[in-house]
Amino acid sequence: MEMAPEIKNLERLCIHTITTKPLEFEEACARYSALGVSGISIWRDAVEGLDPGKVRSCLRENQLTPVSYVRGGFFPSIDAEKRGAAIANNINMLEEASEMDIPLLVLVCGADPGQSLKTSREQIKKGIETILPVARRLNVKLAIEPLHPMYADSRSAITSLKQANQMAEYFNDDFLGIAVDVYHLWFDEDLENQVKRCGENKNLFAYHICDWNVPTTDMLLDRGLMGEGCIPLKQIRGWVEAAGFSGFYEVEIFSTRFWEQDQNLFLENLVKAYIHHS
């Protein structure tokens, strides 16, 4: 099994604000910075009500690079009015990202259990087609994030890296790529080839890490710290790096267990797990 080289510093470590959900945005920035973390991916609810200028100042003062804005998408619906509202929401998020100097909007593409997955995928394609010109004008890229098939009912009809590759290649646009999240893809027997394909087409925009706990007690809110579970993280990172990815490694963890912990201790453990197990 080929392994990625050892991680020796934090220059490529990015943390999603949802990972430390109990912390207010400004406090999260200060704590990340104090530990030497270099990047931050911002969930919309973390900056709700904050002036974009204040967000930019906070990032600048803490020497944090904004990596991505989370999460747009959710295009499909059997209701045309809801599809229109989703388009408007994505355009609003692109505008917000631009105002905060965040270069990438992550798309959790959505699905509607009242219709076929094929129909939902066509609506996703239409939604992306509609917002791409706005993304280009605002200079904010889009990243399709394929989700684990257990979320195919309502969260995403894009449930494999192969499907995400097909969608990105259909558009063949510099402003549309893919976010690879190990939690959703680690088990795919074709993952190495699909990561290579993604890189060859210059569509590998983002890489998200965590671990899969054994046993997993909640299919949404029980992600593990790197090294706690069964995801072959170093092997997958090796594939991602071999595919040409040189961006941030984004720690994205939803966990009621970690949210209940002292966040200083949790962040210290996160940094250790990142260095030793990612």
- Other beta carbons within 10 Å of 52: 16
Displacement of CA 65 from its chain's centroid (Å): 15
The chain-wide mean pLDDT, for the chain, equals 97
Residue 235 in contact with residue 4, Cβ under 8 Å? yes
* Distance (Å, whole) CA 259 – CA 22: 6
Question: What are the extents of the domains in the chain?
Answer: 13-277
CB 71 within 8 A of CB 116: no
- What's the Cα-to-Cα distance from 146 to each of 163, 185, 206, rounded to whole Å? 8, 8, 12
Q: Percent of the chain, pLDDT > 90?
A: 98
Nearest Cα residue to 187 out of 230, 245, 239, 243 = 230
CA-to-CA distance for 46 and 43, rounded, in angstroms?
5
* pLDDT at residue 2 greater than cutoff 80: no
62's torsion region: left (phi>0), alpha (psi -120 to 50) or beta? alpha
DSSP state of 234: H
Q: In CATH, which superfamily holds the domain spanning 13-277?
A: Divalent-metal-dependent TIM barrel enzymes (3.20.20.150)
Residue 22: cis peptide before it, omega within 30 degrees of 0: no
Rounded to whole angstroms, how far apart are CA atoms 80 and 123?
10
Residue 233's pLDDT is what? 98
Contact call for residues 216 and 222 (beta carbons, < 8 A): yes
Question: Using one digit for the tens of pLDDT, what is the confidence trace for 17-41?
Answer: 999 999 999 999 999 999 999 999 9
Question: What is the per-residue pLDDT for 3?
Answer: 78
The label of the residue with tokens 């088990």 reads: 187
Encode pLDDT of 195-206 as tens digits: 999 999 999 999
Work out the number of other CB atoms within 10 angstroms of the CB of residue 217.
Answer: 9
pLDDT at 34: 98
